[in-house]
Structure 1
Amino acid sequence: MATRPGQDLTTGPIARTLLLFALPTLGSSVLQSLNGSINAIWVGQFLGEAALAATANANLVMFLMFSAVFGFGMAATILIGQRIGADDVDGARRVMGTTIGMLAVGATLVALAGWLWAPNLLHLLATPPEVFDFALAYLRISFLGLPAGMIMVLLTMGLRGTGDAMTPLWFMILAAVIDIALNPVLILGLGPAPALGIRGAATASLIANIISLAALVAYIYVRDLPLRLRGSEIGYIVPERTLTRTIFVKGVPMGLQMLTVSISALAMIGLVNREGAAVTAAYGAANQLWTYIQMPAMALGAAVSAMAAQNIGANRWDRVGQVTRAGIWMNVLITGGAVLVMLAIDRHALSLFLGNDGHAMDVAQHMNLIVSWGFILFGVTSVLSAAVRANGAVMVPLAILIVAFFPVRLGLAAYYQPRIGADAIWWSYNAGALTTLIMTFAYYRFGKWRELRMMPQTDPIEAEEMVISGAEPAGRCQPNG
């Protein structure tokens, strides 16, 4: 049998392997979040509250566009993991090539559409007039970086599917350093650089994405990592019909899950915007803290996905349940600890974004106290979802999100906001988190997700190779809406 590249996630102690694989993923997520937070500090301190509120609106729109093609990357990631688990490296390369070809086209189309429709999207959000011009300038430049950003995320997701969590960490560090360093230079026009204002913040991210992507591709080839394509393998970038169909069939529902999250977030910020610019700025600042609270859960979910995918590919179903249970108790401990730490320092942390604005600070602290506890429930749900999606279960998780986010979260927020004000928005987060957890656990415990297969088995030799699935990606791609 061929030696499996990357880290073998099908053997060894469950908890230790899960934790060691999750830590670099957590580091990548924290770095990416720290990058966004520091950039928000630059914008808030140099350009003011209106500019900070603009980035909160623009970032949610960007995630909406990102989600339109991201589901395909999610499906490909676990397909790669299962191929690696079955010792089929060439199959993993075929998946990577097909997905790159699909996403290169899809991300370019989404970027063009986003550039053209950016004003319409901001109007749909009820973006306040004093925020609109800032948001439009930031958003349009951000769209230019979407194709490079999508390919970068796909490559890091694919590497994690092979069991390599360290390489994505190194290149996340590179991207974060470039982005953080360039922000004040381009915002203020330091040295020979022009003073671009809020456009400078978006341009810094664009440059960081392009440089880090080029460096990652070079590293993959220099180190001859499993997913590199050489010689005739370059032709894998032309999508194969069977793989394209499978990735599309499973990727669309997973993309719709992402779109459900982002559309809900857009609707929520529309409700928040109606409370005024100060509340919007407080919401944007609190979101920065919520991002960090979510990071352990996202990292553990990504680790569970990778481990489950390889074990399914290796037909080690006995380990899939053990991985899920280990992920749940680790999440409760780590996310619970993160909530306690964040509540202890929230005023100091929020002041980095809000300065001395007493009203916005009070609002942000209040919403943080209400919302943050629900992320423990979110973490448990993330682990359960990662396990079921690792075997191709996509339709039921999509239905669960639709119910929890729209009739429950948005319905409660919209109904009670005229009666109790902004508190209706904050409490609706926890109602949605609890609903999602209950339904996801019921599906994990009693559903038939273990019986699913994503591709028809055409012959006994190919049968094991052609069982594929989708799962949660790592990285900070979800907004906190």
Structure 2
Amino acid sequence: MARNLTRDMTNGSPTKLILKFSVPMLIGNIFQQLYNMVDSIVVGKFVGSDALAAVGSTMSILFLIFGLTFGLSAGISIVISQYFGAKDYENVKKSFATATYIVIGASAIMGVTGFLLTRTFLELLNTPDTIINESEIYMKIAFAGILGIACYNGMAAVLRALGDSITPLVFLIIASILNVLLDLLFVVVFGMGVAGVAIATIIAQMVSAAGCTIYALLRVKLLRMPLREFKPDPLIFRKCIRLGLPVALQNSFVSVSLMALQSVINSFHAVVIAATTVVNRIEQLVLQPSMSLGAATASFTGQNIGAGQIDRVKQGYRSSSLIIIIFSLIMLPIMFFGGEAIMKIFTKQEDMEVVRYGVEGIRITSFFYFFVGMIFITRNFLSGTGDIHIPMIMGITEVICRVLFARLMAANASIGFRGIFWATAFTWLVTGFLGIWRVATGKWKGKSVVKNSV
């Protein structure tokens, strides 16, 4: 059996395997963030702060809908990685076929729901009248293109479960370059504004989805099967839903907390909204190493828990945690002292007030990068073992903390807009500790879906 693009992670140094797997993912995730960052830079530089605020005000809602499909992809990845680690290749094929139906069905439902409820969502978030129409345009176009996002992430999740983090990277780079070119074409040349960046993004995402899928099917024989066999398996379907639904709900809980925070942000003027939009874009980039390392930890953990190698699972967790500590210590001075220069990349020269607000925010949250890094590590570690209920509880914790802290702090006149950033920082702190505690208890052992029937 040819396994051209797959990687068995049940043998070899855990640290080397995790780093080797996560580096291509990191590069890919950085390019994926370019979708949103380029949108922000182009509208901020060539349209203005109101357009920048309009794009930023949609992010929490988009993540709510997209997060549900991403969560289902995560459940699929857990099942496939554990079957692959157990060398049960027949069920790997069945899982892939089942996953295809889940991803397409879920994206259709979420896309239609989001498209129809766009205005309602924006009104619930108290989106200012000055930007709500442009926000609605951006969101509707994004929801119309959800299938491309879902298919790419679903295919990438399958390949990463098999140990391949290179193929998703290649097509993300292609799509990111295309996105930049189309952004400039639609906004600068054609003057399409917010609609232009949204259209550019969905075209690029569809290209990455189609390319990744076609190439993988041609190269990975493990994923190819006769069309008559390409049908959902009821048992595996239940396993994917049982594992994916809690992750999807966890993502939705995080999204709800972000929406609650966005509602607080929208109570301030457009300059604060623009500043928080830029800070969110910057920190999404800063957090990519933690996210990539977390995803690598999930694949490593899934394969090794499927193979019954508990000691290697523990070694992988320790290696990932050490890397997060080192990364956080490096990033603290860079972000604390370099925040102003980075903020200026996203803004016009006359928008110095946006820069000033953003720099204050970055200097607060940069001290808490370790804790958000450990959220990604512990959440993915627990998901990889099949212990999926605690990650969902971590999502609920984020909702409670972010809403509570944001409401209390932003309402305090002496704290003001800084309460937005303190709320995020304290949420990271509490949720990170919860994940660390759960791993330390060892209750995640014996949760393998390969050994436990549904």
Structure 1-normalised TM-score? Answer: 0.89
Q: In structure 2, how many angstroms separate the alpha carbons of the residues matched to 1:320 and 1:275? A: 46
How far residue 314 of structure 1 moved from its aligned partner, in angstroms, is 1.4
Residue 286, structure 1, aligned to residue 279, structure 2: yes
2:269 to 276, 281, 285: 276
1:374 to 368, 386, 391: 368
How far residue 186 of structure 1 moved from its aligned partner, in angstroms, is 1.1
CA contact (8 A) 1:264 1:405 kept: yes
CA contact (8 A) 2:60 2:255 kept: yes
Aligned length: 451
CA contact (8 A) 1:39 1:201 kept: yes
Structure 1 counterpart of 2:132, one-letter code = F
How far residue 18 of structure 1 moved from its aligned partner, in angstroms, is 1.2
Structure 2 counterpart of 1:33, one-letter code = Q
Structure 2 counterpart of 1:111, one-letter code = G
Q: Residues 225, 169 of structure 1: CA spacing in aligned structure 2 closer, same or farther, 3 A cutoff?
A: farther
Task: Please identify runs of 4+ aligned residues in structure 1 that moved more than 6 A.
Answer: 1-5
How far residue 5 of structure 1 moved from its aligned partner, in angstroms, is 6.2
Paired position in structure 2 for 1:140: 140
Q: Residues 157, 115 of structure 1: CA spacing in aligned structure 2 closer, same or farther, 3 A cutoff?
A: same
Paired position in structure 1 for 2:216: 220
How far residue 79 of structure 1 moved from its aligned partner, in angstroms, is 1.0
**Higher mean Cα deviation, 318-327 or 54-63?**
54-63
Q: Residues 214, 401 of structure 1: CA spacing in aligned structure 2 closer, same or farther, 3 A cutoff?
A: closer
Paired position in structure 2 for 1:196: 192
Structure 2 counterpart of 1:429, one-letter code = T
RMSD: 1.9
CA contact (8 A) 2:374 2:435 kept: no
Residue 443, structure 1, aligned to residue 442, structure 2: no
Structure 2 counterpart of 1:382, one-letter code = F
How far residue 160 of structure 1 moved from its aligned partner, in angstroms, is 0.6
Q: Residues 127, 229 of structure 1: CA spacing in aligned structure 2 closer, same or farther, 3 A cutoff?
A: farther
Paired position in structure 2 for 1:49: 49
Residue 427, structure 1, aligned to residue 434, structure 2: no
How far residue 440 of structure 1 moved from its aligned partner, in angstroms, is 1.6
Structure 1 counterpart of 2:419, one-letter code = A
Q: Residues 289, 467 of structure 1: CA spacing in aligned structure 2 closer, same or farther, 3 A cutoff?
A: farther
**Higher mean Cα deviation, 371-380 or 160-169?**
371-380
How far residue 173 of structure 1 moved from its aligned partner, in angstroms, is 0.3
Q: In structure 2, how many angstroms separate the alpha carbons of the residues matched to 1:312 and 1:328? A: 18
Q: In structure 2, how many angstroms separate the alpha carbons of the residues matched to 1:265 and 1:404? A: 9
Paired position in structure 1 for 2:392: 398
| Equivalent residue runs for 1:108-119 within 5 Å | 108-119=108-119
How far residue 402 of structure 1 moved from its aligned partner, in angstroms, is 1.5
Describe the SS at the equivalent of 1:412: helix
CA contact (8 A) 1:83 1:91 kept: yes
Paired position in structure 2 for 1:365: 359
Describe the SS at the equivalent of 1:9: coil
CA contact (8 A) 2:70 2:153 kept: no
| Equivalent residue runs for 1:87-106 within 5 Å | 87-106=87-106
Q: In structure 2, how many angstroms separate the alpha carbons of the residues matched to 1:2 and 1:149? A: 29
Q: In structure 1, how many angstroms separate the alpha carbons of the residues matched to 2:453 and 2:156? A: 22
Q: Residues 431, 261 of structure 1: CA spacing in aligned structure 2 closer, same or farther, 3 A cutoff?
A: same
Structure 2 counterpart of 1:76, one-letter code = I
Q: In structure 1, how many angstroms separate the alpha carbons of the residues matched to 2:259 and 2:224? A: 37
Paired position in structure 1 for 2:382: 388
**Higher mean Cα deviation, 133-142 or 439-448?**
439-448
How far residue 348 of structure 1 moved from its aligned partner, in angstroms, is 1.6
Q: In structure 1, how many angstroms separate the alpha carbons of the residues matched to 2:323 and 2:235? A: 38
Instruction: Report sequence identity in percent.
Output: 26
How far residue 467 of structure 1 moved from its aligned partner, in angstroms, is 6.9
CA contact (8 A) 1:26 1:299 kept: yes
Paired position in structure 2 for 1:21: 21
How far residue 82 of structure 1 moved from its aligned partner, in angstroms, is 1.0
Q: Residues 363, 5 of structure 1: CA spacing in aligned structure 2 closer, same or farther, 3 A cutoff?
A: closer
